[in-house]
């Protein structure tokens, strides 16, 4: 019985997914001239335009941000994003940061997003005198749950471009939620 339910769920998922991704009656979700607005889960280790919240031992960190893009050709969007975050320690002064992102996102076969972007951050009492920069490379899968909404899990590697801040890269798993219109 469990196998039958699993097979039925996979069939419904596949039918829904194919119909949403192959619906070209509106020109396709990733067609030239379309817009993209997305929110991604973030990572506290670097400046981000994502969304996250973490709390431990009375200290908390948060970030909120969005990315937007415009498809300059089928499957290729130019993107920009902004984020604002803060850190509230158990003792001491709170700090805040501002993040930005510029880059491009290409959808291979209109469903495998590949990104390359530059992310920077600044913040009083967060990064000291440094203004860290990261080159981000990512890939994932766009699951179009409807004609205008996609869920995009993926992996991202952020290569530090500022050795005075850090010479380490950061690998992260993200889940993105995007609106296409």
Tens-digit pLDDT profile for residues 51-105: 888 888 888 888 899 999 999 999 999 999 999 988 888 777 788 889 999 999 9
Backbone phi and psi for residue 6, each to the nearest 5 degrees, phi listed first: -65, -45
Rounded Cα–Cα distance for residues 98 and 156 (Å): 20
**Which DSSP letter does residue 130 get?**
-
Write the burial class of residue 181 (CB in 10 Å: 0-12 exposed, 13-18 middle, 19+ buried): exposed
Rounded Cα–Cα distance for residues 52 and 104 (Å): 23
Query: Domains in the chain, please, with CATH?
Result: 2-180 (2.40.160.20)
Tens-digit pLDDT profile for residues 113-129: 999 999 988 876 666 66
pLDDT at position 70 is 98
């Amino acid at each position: 019985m469990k196998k039958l339910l699993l097979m039925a769920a996979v069939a419904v998922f596949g039918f829904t997914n194919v119909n949403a991704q192959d619906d070209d009656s509106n020109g396709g979700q990733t067609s030239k001239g379309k817009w993209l607005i997305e929110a991604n889960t973030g990572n506290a280790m670097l400046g981000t335009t994502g969304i996250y919240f973490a709390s431990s031992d009375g200290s908390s960190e948060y970030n909120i941000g969005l990315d937007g893009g415009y498809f300059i050709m089928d499957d290729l969007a130019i993107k920009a994003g902004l984020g604002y975050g803060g850190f509230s320690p158990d003792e001491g002064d709170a700090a805040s940061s501002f993040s930005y992102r510029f880059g491009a996102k290409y959808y291979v076969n209109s469903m495998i997003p590949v990104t390359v972007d530059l992310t920077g951050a600044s913040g009083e009492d967060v990064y000291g005198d440094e203004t860290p920069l990261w080159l981000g490379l990512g890939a994932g899968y766009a699951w179009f749950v409807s004609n205008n909404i996609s869920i995009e899990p993926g992996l991202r590697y952020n290569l530090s471009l500022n050795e005075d801040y850090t010479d380490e890269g950061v690998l992260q798993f993200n889940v993105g939620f995007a609106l296409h219109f």
